[in-house]
Amino acid sequence: MATLTIVRVKCNTKEDYIGKDDIYLRVNGKRYKVGRFSNNTSEEVGKSWAFDDEIEVQIWEQDEDPDDKIGEHTFHASEAGGGVKKQNYSGHGASYDLWYKIE
């Protein structure tokens, strides 16, 4: 059993043309609200999820019409012990960085 902690999410470039992005994660399919972002802003998350071999984290931007998926990444238990690392998510013209730790 391993633990994924998402430390912080940063918006480099937002997805919505007007207004702030409304960002949530889907962690193995389950939705977790992060917050609202304009360019070059970040939010502390500090939330952990237990998993076995791998865990998929998607970043989504909420809209009135169908939400936009910024990207997805699968983290592996074999990465455990490496300290805090950064993963970039890019899609729909947006770019987000996610800092995480696997223990």
Task: Give contact residues for Ca ion (rule: CB under 5 A).
Answer: 15-16, 22, 61, 63, 68
What gap in Å lies between CA 76 and CA 65, rounded to an integer?
33
Query: Cβ of residue 89: shortest distance to Ca ion, in angstroms?
Result: 14
Question: What DSSP designation does 79 have?
Answer: G
Residues 8-36 as b/e (b if ≥16 CB within 10 A, e otherwise) read bbbbbebbbeeeebbbbbbbeeeeeebbe
Nearest to 49 by CA among 8, 3, 82, 98: 3
Q: Rank residues 4 and 15 by Cβ distance to Ca ion and give the closer one.
A: 15
Query: Cβ of residue 10: shortest distance to Ca ion, in angstroms?
Result: 17
Query: Cβ of residue 36: shortest distance to Ca ion, in angstroms?
Result: 9
Q: Rank residues 16 and 79 by Cβ distance to Ca ion and give the closer one.
A: 16
Q: Rank residues 8 and 20 by Cβ distance to Ca ion and give the closer one.
A: 20
